[in-house]
Amino acid sequence: MSHSAVSQAAAVSVSIGNERSLTRSVFKHNNSISFNTKPWSSSLALTQKTSTIRDAKRYSNTTICMSVQQASSSKVNVSPIELEDPTDPPLNLYKPKDSYTAKIVSVERVVGPKAPGETCHIVIDHEGNLPYWEGQSYGVIPPGENPKKPGAPHNVRLYSIASTRYGDFFDGKTASLCVRRAVYYDPETGKEDPSKNGVCSNFLCDSKPGDKIQITGPSGKVMLLPENDPNATHIMVATGTGVAPYRGYLRRLFMENVPNYKFGGLAWLFLGVANTDSLLYDDEFSKYLKDHPDNFRFDKALSREEKNKKGGKMYVQDKIEEYSDEIFKLLDNGAHIYFCGLKGMMPGIQDTLKRVAEERGESWDAKLSQLRKNKQWHVEVY
Ligand code: FAD
Q: Is 341 annotated as a binding residue?
A: yes
Out of 2.30.110.10, 3.40.50.80, 3.40.718.10, 3.30.70.20, which CATH number does the structure's domain 222-381 have? Answer: 3.40.50.80
**Active site annotation includes 382:** yes
Atom 8 (ligand 1): residue with closest C-alpha?
198
Q: What is the DSSP letter of 95?
A: B
Question: Which parts of the chain are beta strand (E)?
Answer: 11-12, 24-29, 32-37, 76-77, 100-109, 119-125, 137-141, 157-160, 174-180, 212-219, 233-239, 256-257, 266-273, 296-302, 336-341, 377-381
Choose the residue to mutate in 196, 203, 281 for probing ligand 1, maximizing ligand atoms within 8 Å of C-beta. 196
Selected catalytic residue, list 159, 166, 249, 281? 159
Centre of ligand 1 from the C-alpha of residue 203, in Å: 11
Residue with more model confidence, 134 or 27: 134
Digit-coded pLDDT (tens) for 102-153: 999 999 999 999 999 999 999 999 999 999 999 999 999 999 999 999 999 9
Euclidean distance between CA atoms 106 and 5, whole angstroms: 9
Residue with more model confidence, 85 or 71: 85
- Which ligand 1 atom minimizes the distance to the CA of 219? 34
Centre of ligand 1 from the C-alpha of residue 24, in Å: 33
**Active site annotation includes 338:** no
Distances (CA, A) of 116 to 15, 173, 232, 246: 34, 32, 36, 22
Euclidean distance between CA atoms 333 and 362, whole angstroms: 16
Atom 24 (ligand 1): residue with closest C-alpha?
179
Atom 53 (ligand 1): residue with closest C-alpha?
198
pTM value is 0.85
Query: For the chain, which residues make up each domain, given as ranges?
Result: 78-219, 222-381
Euclidean distance between CA atoms 328 and 360, whole angstroms: 10
pLDDT-derived band at 73, boundaries 50, 70, 90: low
- Domain 78-219: top CATH class: mainly beta
Choose the residue to mutate in 148, 163, 200 for probing ligand 1, maximizing ligand atoms within 8 Å of C-beta. 200
